[in-house]
Amino acid sequence: MTTIVIIDTLLLLLVTATAIAIIEVRSLYASAMLTSVYSLLMALVWVNMHSMDVAFTEAAVGGGISTILLIGTLVHLPREEKKLKKRLHAPAAITCALAGAALIYGTLDMPNFGDPMAPIHHYRVPEMMSQTVGFINQTKGKQPAPEGFDPYAYRTFNGAVQGIPKDPTDTAWRETSIIAQRGIMVPQVLTPGHEPHHEAGHHLHPPDDFNGHIPNSVTSLLAGYRGYDTMFETTVIFTAGVSLIMLLRRPRREGEAQKSAPMTDQVILRVVTKMSIPFILLFGLYVITHGELGPGGGFQGGVVLACGFILFALVFGRPALYRVLPPRVTDVLTGVGVLIYSGTGAACLFFGGKFLDYSALNAASPGEGEALGMTLVEYGVGITVSMVMLTIFNQLAEEQSK
């Protein structure tokens, strides 16, 4: 029993209790608030499992935005769900029991929780992580490798450093490597000429690469190896925003004033909001920019930015927000973010690389190109996420003021 498992068990008990309460409680407001609690507990679970980025996203998205959206919707819906005749829905319970039993049956052959020998830890991902790393000092930029460090070596379990065999077909080294032994994701460097598990004709990304620029490997995976997924993830958000505009926006009539009651009598709220909004926005930008170094990135930062604007709209009224950010501007900005992302990808094409091959952006220093591309992409994500979240809130709120 490790600490992680003990804390995990306690947290998951709480989470399960909350989940049952969410389903069973009749008041929809209570249900929405419990959803927020649930998300925050989930964020704790994920911190406990060392998944900082996911925890951050869950706290911002699940605990923050989702709850705001739910409450915003509930304002013009009945407060409680209808009283059900039967407490237990038997067909549903049986279906769930069967599906659950099947899923549990499937877990019986899985590697143990936290088992470093699980295939996922030592098959592809270590290679991914080890492919590229440079010697970078956060403050001073690129540094030469230290004395006696063999960049083409791997570390064995007992800490000894050995060279990778020159014969590409010899993969035995992986058995003794620290990767295979303990599933450790240690950044390593492969020789450009030595490409295990790799067809001929590929050029590897240069060894002087982004893992050094971007210590947060979640970000480097998100924007690098799986950058294409992330582009579409941003598009999903964009689609949601456009769909909401399409479904909820009313045709604007001339001279129709936007009705929204600013909280004029709430002096404390107004003062505190005025004080804190600049900091919230600053924090959002910080999170977007800092995503390469630590937990955070475009999504989390974008959501924080959106929360700043939403707070403004809540306290000072939406007309005030529309004066700062007219709907036309937010509409355009939602698209601009995705365009920055896909435009970066397309720019790589124009510079002679493949789509989203950021290293093509800077011919002199491919690593710098990678870092540049990822930064651009993160900003694109941030813009789209913040503006779409704001648009979604605006659309739901516009409904309510009618």
Choose the stretch contacting another protein; rule: CB under 8 A; options: 99-107, 162-170, 254-262, 316-324: 99-107
Tell me the HSE value of 331 on the side-chain side, using a 13 A CA sphere: 11
CB 151 within 8 A of CB 145: yes
Q: What are phi and psi of 153, to 5 degrees?
A: -115, 160
Residue 139: both structure tokens together: 């403050």
Q: What gap in Å lies between CA 43 and CA 56, rounded to an integer?
A: 7
Footprint of another protein on 311-330 (CB under 8 A): none
3-state SS record for 189-204: CCCCCCCCCCCCCCCC
CB 323 within 8 A of CB 262: no
Binder among 40, 63, 174, 205 for another protein (CB under 8 A): 205
CB 287 within 8 A of CB 300: yes
- Output 16 or 324, the one with its CB closest to another protein: 16
x/- mask, another protein, residues 222-241, rule CB under 8 A, reads x-xxxxxxxxxx-xxxxxxx
375 is an interface residue for another protein by CB under 8 A: no
Signed CA dihedral, 309, 236, 341, 291: sign only? positive
The pairing of strands 141-142 and 136-137 is: antiparallel
Footprint of another protein on 156-195 (CB under 8 A): 178, 182-187
Residue 144: both structure tokens together: 């030469």
Q: How far is the CB of 198 from another protein (least distance, A)?
A: 6
Q: What gap in Å lies between CA 184 and CA 357, rounded to an integer?
A: 27
- Output 260 or 342, the one with its CB closest to another protein: 342
Q: Which single residue is written with the structure tokens 């209570």?
A: 30
Query: Bridge-partner residues for 40, per DSSP?
Result: none
x/- mask, another protein, residues 331-350, rule CB under 8 A, reads xx--x--xx--xx-xx-xxx
Binder among 6, 95, 278, 329 for another protein (CB under 8 A): 95
- Output 113 or 319, the one with its CB closest to another protein: 113
Binder among 30, 33, 37, 51 for another protein (CB under 8 A): 51
x/- mask, another protein, residues 113-132, rule CB under 8 A, reads xxxx-xxxxxxxx-xxx-x-
Choose the stretch contacting another protein; rule: CB under 8 A; options: 63-71, 169-177, 254-262, 316-324: 63-71
Binder among 10, 97, 172, 324 for another protein (CB under 8 A): 97
Q: How far is the CB of 326 from another protein (least distance, A)?
A: 15
Query: Bridge-partner residues for 162, per DSSP?
Result: 154
- Output 28 or 281, the one with its CB closest to another protein: 28
Q: What gap in Å lies between CA 365 and CA 16, rounded to an integer?
A: 50
Footprint of another protein on 6-35 (CB under 8 A): 8, 12, 15-16, 19-20, 22-23, 28, 31-32, 35
Residue 303: both structure tokens together: 């959501």
Q: What gap in Å lies between CA 237 and CA 388, rounded to an integer?
A: 7
Binder among 141, 144, 193, 255 for another protein (CB under 8 A): 144
Question: Mind giving me the DSSP string for 52-79?
Answer: HHHHHHIIIIIIIIIHHHHHHHHTTS-S
Q: How far is the CB of 143 from another protein (least distance, A)?
A: 4
Footprint of another protein on 280-309 (CB under 8 A): 293-295, 299
Q: How far is the CB of 312 from another protein (least distance, A)?
A: 15
Q: How far is the CB of 267 from another protein (least distance, A)?
A: 10
- Output 331 or 368, the one with its CB closest to another protein: 331
